[in-house]
Amino acid sequence: MSERAGDAATQAGDAEQARRREVLDRIARGLVYSESEAAFQAPQRRTDLVFEYNHTPPSHEAERRALLEAIFGSVGARTVLTPPFHAGFGSNTHLGDDFFGNANLSFVDDVEIRIGDGVMIAPNVTLTTTGHPVHPARRVDFARFSEPITIEDRVWIGSNAVVLPGVRIGYGSVIGAGSVVSRDVPPMVVAVGVPCRVVREITEADRATRAGG
């Protein structure tokens, strides 16, 4: 390679790195970006490993644990994740200790999902960090925006709930089945509905009852 060609290649590489940094900055700020712009993130996707996990026999506990550690950004101790589950990346999701996720849990983790210790998630729940612009002209090339989700320790999320981009669910709270969580939920409350709203606090009296509603 000639010196001139080498310089051109270096400049092209620098330009590509600058473009990637600009896209990552937009993603971090919750601004709109397109599928083509974010294509360089494809190697971070763990979809083949997710497929493998979903087809691994329950009795192969060591193999399933190794797959979880390869799929997720971090995995705590005593993790239970009932297949099938789905993840856009996997590598952007972090699971705490004593996590229980039931069947058909979907992680739309274009950016980080952080789940604390002792969290329980019922079947058919979606955690999505990503949404799309309302105007169709802005959805060309699957244009989208992404904001991280945080689920603090000891949260319980009921069946068929959807947690939307940017939401934080506080310590110990319960999200009722079928809820759509579009805003932050404070610690130690029961919240239900579409949109999800706080209906009451969790108190010492709940130690003697079964119901959460």
Q: pLDDT (tens digit, 9 = 90+) per residue, 39-69?
A: 999 999 999 999 999 999 999 999 999 999 9
pLDDT at 179: 98
User: What's the pTM value of the predicted model, to 2 decimals?
Assistant: 0.91
Q: Can you tell me the distance from the alpha carbon of 174 to that of 5, in angstroms, rounded to the nearest whole number?
A: 61
CB 173 within 8 Å of CB 203: no
Please enumerate in sequence order all residues whose Cβ is within 8 A of that of 47, keeping only pairs 6 or more positions apart, or say none.
87, 88, 90
pLDDT at 76: 98
Q: Which residues pair with 45 in a beta bridge?
A: 90
pLDDT at 8: 64
pLDDT at 11: 72
pLDDT at 7: 65
Q: Can you tell me the distance from the alpha carbon of 59 to that of 134, in angstroms, rounded to the nearest whole number?
A: 46
List, by residue number, the catalytic residues: 132
- Is 121 in a helix, a strand, or coil? strand
Among the listed residues 88, 91, 86, 87, the one whose alpha carbon sits nearest the alpha carbon of residue 44? 91
